[in-house]
Amino acid sequence: MLNTENISDINKKKEHVHGNQEDHVVDAEFENVDEADDKEKDSGIKIKRPKDWRSKSYKELKEEVRKQFVEQGHDDVPDDIVEQIVDDITKDVAKRKIRQNVFSFVRLTLVASISVLTLSVFMLIFQTSDKFISKEELQIDITNAINKDIKLDDLKMVYRKQSSVYSNSLWPIVKPHLFYEKSSLTLITVLEDIKSKHLIKNSELVESDNKELKIIDAMTSEYNKINPFDGLDEQDIRDFKNISSSLSVEAYEKINDEIFSLTSSLKVKNNLINQYLNSSNLSLYISLSAFIFSVLVTLWQLLSSRRSSQKQLVAEAIKEHEKSIQK
């Protein structure tokens, strides 16, 4: 039997349990001795969360809590106080577990998003690697070569060298108008762009500009005579060369305009095909990234649901125990 003084003390402890739950929950395990001493002075009793509480039954948790009371000199604490403490521990840890799951999901989502974004960036860089050339840099190089009155063969050599300097970045996708696509690029395209720049300038053409334009026109005319099929794929080039070789010079001159129109049309179509292929590859990379992201989220959900099931089993066991006590 408990005496009156003990009952009074126990009631005060019970009020303290209801008034300040944190004295009995998980965070009662303090990080340093000074904080623990201050807390003990306020409450007089310090109940620590039992280790491996998930694997313990409700009865074992009660025994663990009561054991801590006894160790602190309170061996006459009623069962309802002990049960209240166990319930508080269980509820508090369950709430903390929910918060941890939410934070874990947010962290996983951020990590997965960053990973997918990084992977997509690398895929895009790989997609644009060795395929695009800076317009400005190549035009400057060709212009410098033209102003030195070099021959067409030398200009073609400069073009081959400088057009092999690729841009390995995302800028060709962000600002495609600033780059040439290697697969469809020809020297004529660069010469025409340089000429167009001079013609659309706001200021009047100076003597050096006129001289440069004359050189570009001469280079373009000579280039078209020597390389009429430049810019086509290898099979088309072979076919047109076979046509030109099977005709006499007079006969070929009669159909030269039609041949030029046909080659221009084929170049446009080839460019469109290359653009569609690049778009399809980009869609493939985006689909792969989305698939990887969905797999990561699914794995997290499976792991989370498994942990939640374990927590649910513990909660159900506690409820069954409470029902049996009430009966």
Give the start-to-end residue ranges of the domains of the chain: 135-164+187-229
pLDDT tops 50 at residue 24 = no
Give residue-wise pLDDT tens across range 136-172.
999 999 999 998 888 888 998 999 888 887 776 777 7
Predicted pLDDT of residue 14: 43
- DSSP string spanning 125-188? HHHHTTTEEEHHHHHHHHHHHHTTT--HHHHHHHHHHHTT----SSHHHH-GGGEEEGGG--HH
pTM score of the predicted model: 0.48
Give residue-wise pLDDT tens across range 27-39.
433 333 344 344 3
How confident is the model over 309-321, as a mean pLDDT? 54
Q: Six-digit token pair at 66?
A: 């009561």
d(CA 250, CA 256): 10
